[in-house]
Amino acid sequence: MTIDLKNLTIKKARMALDEKEFSAVDLAQAYLGKIKEKNKELNAYLEVYDDVLEQAKLADEKIGRGESSPLLGIPLAIKDVILVKNKKVSSASKILENYVASYDATVIAKLKEQGAVFLGRTNMDEFALGSSTENSAFGVTRNPYDLSRVAGGTSGGSTVAVASDMALGALGSDTGGSVRLPAAFCGVVGLKPTYGRVSRYGLIAAASSFDCVGQIAKNIEDAEIIFNAISGHDILDSTSVNYEADSKLSSKKELVIGVPWNLINQEGIEPNVKENFQKIVKSFESSGYKIKDISLPNCIALYYIINFAEVSSNLSRFDGVRYGLHKDGKNLLEDYLLTKGQGFGKEARRRILLGTFVLSAGYYDAYYGKAQRTRDALRKEFKKLFSEIDLILTPTSPIPAWKIGEKSDPLSMYLADIFTVTANIVGIPAISLPSGFMEVAGKKVPLGIQFMAPHGREEFLFEVGKKLEMIEGSN
């Protein structure tokens, strides 16, 4: 049976499965075939699970009994940083290469309850540190629109799996844009939820106060379906927050969109990205949205100081004693040096060193302490800002996907996060939506725009995302 995977969505698949147009096994086999065809050149999956068809058979049995849920029998890809019981999870690092998860992450448990089918674990920047999926210990993931370009990161594998029809949806993680940036580079939807609205239990930590489990999908409706399936308060996660009582849409007829032109008009923004963005702003204005000029600070330095500090603290647990890679030295110190030296990649080591520096005696107050005070001030500024506007609109990235190996200087790569890190700093939800293409060296590569909303207001993002799809569809 031939299934049109290119035009298939979660909603369409749900209807087809319930109406017995094809089975969950048929659907799983179609995706396994596509993975076999494409994954070798794209390197999106690190591992395809050996029980995919067994999972699909169980889903068919439930469908046969008349059961139904939004994700029953739907094939999903899982970023290699989210624990699936009895499956390997390495965070794309040699130091955890053969680690097997002993329990399910809460988001995985919720998806299992719905009967989703897990296709496999996807490639990423090691420990979610990077913006391109070039920092994986297991090779770079390539952009399906141009194999010479990066997929974005750190959730590059999950994003490419969806963009190249090797999964119907996917889970990623977003620390400073890790779902949104690859979504923009690969022409799909990437959602970073409000911090605490989706459980982090079972997510391997990089920077704990930033990390979120995010959703990657072909369209806004599919992203909403996955979000609804995995969101909610979790007693196993001390950072989990219950937003259910305050999740109704504003009764305002006219949503106000704030645009930080001070960031967009600065140097370093690709002219075609800016031109594309200006067209989107005009389209929303023509559709009845009020556009307001706002000012936002450049938060790159603030973000990376806190990121380095938290990465240094979190990665200290990987010492080769309890689990993961272990190398024998002449003494305990040499054990640590050999294990961490061979187990961690270059970017992980860089951030551990820089994080240890900003947390060290004599520098803590000057860097980390000052960054946390600034973060508190920024939260207050955003609270005031969202009393005047409903959404903030920016490009997702200042540039399109770059050539693999082009940004060997880490600072130039960090700057690609200029529009995305702010949402993680203040904990608000944000989404990247496809926004057409630009031609680079004879090939069309995708562009994305980003919306940010107040805490717990993912509904605003879904509403404006559906509106953009209508606008783009009518053009």
Nearest alpha-carbon partner for 305 in 377, 364, 379, 348: 364
**Are the CB atoms for 7 and 63 separated by under 8 Å?**
no
Q: How far apart are CA 205 and CA 89, in angstroms?
A: 13
Respond yes or no: is residue 79 known to be catalytic: yes
Nearest alpha-carbon partner for 401 in 346, 432, 439, 451: 439
CB burial readout 370-389, b (16+ within 10 A) else e: ebeebbeebeeebeebbeeb
Kind and range of the H or E run holding 226: helix 220-230
**Beta-bridge mates of residue 45:** 122
Q: How far apart are CA 116 and CA 167, in angstroms?
A: 12
CB burial readout 8-38, b (16+ within 10 A) else e: bbbeebbebbeeeebbbbbbbbbbbebbeeb
Residue of 34, 38, 79, 192 marked catalytic: 79
Q: How far apart are CA 123 and CA 40, in angstroms?
A: 12
| Residue 78, phi then psi, degrees to nearest 5 | -125, 125
Amino acid at 351: R
Lateral strand order in the sheet of 443-452: 45-48, 117-122, 75-79, 169-174, 212-217, 189-192, 430-440, 443-452, 391-395, 256-259, 290-293
Kind and range of the H or E run holding 435: strand 430-440
Residue of 23, 90, 155, 178 marked catalytic: 178
Q: Exposure of 82 by Cβ count < 10 A (0-12 exposed, 13-18 middle, 19+ buried)?
A: buried
CB burial readout 198-215, b (16+ within 10 A) else e: bbbbbbbbbbebbbbbbb
For tokens 């960090």, name the residue: 414
**Are the CB atoms for 260 and 224 separated by under 8 Å?**
no
Q: Work out whether strand 212-217 and strand 142-143 pair parallel, antiparallel, or are unpaired.
A: unpaired
Q: How far apart are CA 147 and CA 355, in angstroms?
A: 34
Respond yes or no: is residue 178 known to be catalytic: yes
Number of residues that this document lists for the chain? 475
72 CB neighbour count, 10 Å cutoff:
22
Q: Just list the catalytic residues.
A: 79, 178
